[in-house]
Amino acid sequence: MKHLLQVIVIALLCMAGTEVMAQMSYGGEPQSFKLTISQNIPTIEVEALDVDALLAEDASIEGKNHALRIGVNKDVLYTSDNSGRIDLLPNGAKIWRLKFHMDKATYTSMHFSTFQIPDGAELFFYTPDREYVIGKFTNANLMEDGTFYPQELPGDEIIVEYYEPANAAFAGKLVIDQITQGYYDFFHIYRDEKEEKGGLGNAEGTCHPNAICYDATWHDQIQSVVCYTMRSGQYQYMCSGAMVNNTARDGKQYLLSANHCYEAGTWTFYFNYQATTCTGTNGSILRTATGYSLKAKDDGNTSSDFMLVEITGTINPNYNVFLAGWTTATTLPTNPTDCGAIHHPGGDIKKFSVPQHISASGKFWSVNWATATGATEQGSSGSPLFNKDKLIVGQLYAGSSSCSTPTGWDYYGKFSNSWTNSNNSSNAKKLKPWLDPNNTGATSLQGEYLNTVGINNYTQVVDALNVYPNPNSGMMTISGAFTEGEGVCRVYDMLGNLVMNRNITLAPEFTLNLDQLTPGMYMLEVNSGDRTSRAKIIISK
């Protein structure tokens, strides 16, 4: 199955004001896929990196209190005037294509210092086998500073394709000023298929359960955790974090992570990068957003090593993102084995770790683990620690735990310390001004889904949803006015309480298993882009 990294976006999803559209793409496929034109595309050969030297350098840096380095950036200068090929079409349109072969790279990406394209122009990126395709990107994707960058693509080859229609208002100008060669196997595509590294993906250890194993009781919190990459200077890095709610409940796209992760540059956020089964080894890399604004941060010497950023690119509603709740309580989290840590060790698919002991250490919570229920690794930095009430109480700062030494202590910066940072006078050094903007004095806040906080300023079309049989025992067939792709299913009881919330794969007709629900009448809702379909269902067992 082709992994088309395309998101069909309705223009009305754009946020108001100065927020950056960035990564959101507009669907479709490259024009060259539809035409009979030469596939002989000039290739830029990029010399392989000294991967062994880079990995050895990384290994020499002990601890988890630094971002995980995953790639190298190289300054270049490529345009349609000095590279690639241009095909003139009979109707007067033109296509520019350029191919990069970054020898032995684990992934590729690039940055455009100039992104000036007319209405009707389209930009795509894809691998030569067309297994991965992202786009289309248009002039609506121009960032505030006049630049543009796409997400990373797995493998060592990438093709850039730019289409400009006939009679365009002006000739487009694209300048690629930087390319990125991955050397850390972020998408673990080069693992040994017979003996997969880490057993469950790209983590160093084998003790980390897939997050989906805990989905029945931690689904919402799992939906809040994010893996993100940062292109900064010569290198690219990654860390983990969690989307968090604020008392204004205005849908601000805030991400809580660690100060030591911060690298100024261009950021890409990966949502739902997780397996769908306990034994799964891969996750979707389809769901991304780009662009950020730094709100507050402080280091581990003077505070709890926290960072809060706002994602400025639009987050597609189909990502079903949860804004996690939090508490400023200073009391020790009780019942450690009922608490949870959700993270991306080594940039791997989302994992879940169960604390065995939690103690207080000044500005930090000290946590250790059991052999079979996870630990943390570099790349887990910035990930959240939840208490038994499923509220965030801290973010990962440093530690010595691993799958081989799970009893080594990890340190999570206390959310309570980050809240006012010892009554710091600067709003840029504490969480409270951002997460309690109206100064309500709240000491805790429950989480909620980004889609339900009421700020998505587009008008939904509500369609009828066909369900049969109805009544049913929990197994049913669904059909409605939606096309194949990613969607969200929600079930409400007759009092309006949300009782189930899941990502689903849509088709014109598909089956749905709700046998975990108790007998009764419910409202079933399926969301697909800007459309919502609803039907009452009766479960009778």
Q: Which fold does the domain 461-539 belong to in CATH? A: Immunoglobulin-like (2.60.40)
260 is catalytic: yes
Q: Where do we find the tokens 């990613």?
A: 486
305 is catalytic: yes
> Please, are residues 265 and 233 in contact by the beta-carbon 8 Å criterion?
yes
Q: Which one, of 532, 524, 523, 525, lies nearest residue 481 by Cα?
A: 532
DSSP H helices in 301-341: none
Please name the residues in contact with 540: beta carbons below 8 A apart, sequence gap of 6 or more: 471, 472, 473, 519
What CA–CA distance (Å, rounded) separates 108 from 157?
Answer: 7
**Candidates 66, 260, 343, 344; catalytic one:** 260
> Please, are residues 354 and 217 in contact by the beta-carbon 8 Å criterion?
no
Neighbours of 175 (CB within 10 A): 17
What CA–CA distance (Å, rounded) separates 396 from 344?
Answer: 12
**Candidates 303, 353, 381, 418; catalytic one:** 381
**Candidates 156, 220, 305, 436; catalytic one:** 305
What CA–CA distance (Å, rounded) separates 195 from 204?
Answer: 13
- Report domain extents, the chain: 3-182, 461-539
DSSP states along 377-394: -TT-TT-EEE-TTS-EEE
Please name the residues in contact with 489: beta carbons below 8 A apart, sequence gap of 6 or more: 500, 501, 502, 503, 504, 512, 524, 525, 526, 527
In order along its 541 residues, the chain shows pLDDT tens digits of 333 333 323 222 232 222 233 445 667 889 999 998 999 999 999 999 999 999 899 888 877 888 999 999 999 999 999 999 999 999 999 999 999 999 999 999 999 999 999 999 999 999 999 888 988 999 988 888 899 999 899 899 999 999 999 999 999 999 999 999 999 887 766 654 434 433 334 677 789 999 999 998 999 999 999 999 999 999 999 999 999 999 999 999 999 999 999 999 999 999 999 988 898 888 888 789 999 999 999 999 999 999 999 999 889 888 989 999 999 999 999 999 999 999 999 889 999 999 999 999 999 999 999 988 999 999 999 999 999 999 999 999 999 999 999 999 999 999 999 999 999 999 999 999 999 999 999 999 999 999 877 443 334 445 678 899 999 999 999 988 777 777 888 888 776 667 887 888 888 888 888 888 888 888 888 877 656 788 889 898 8
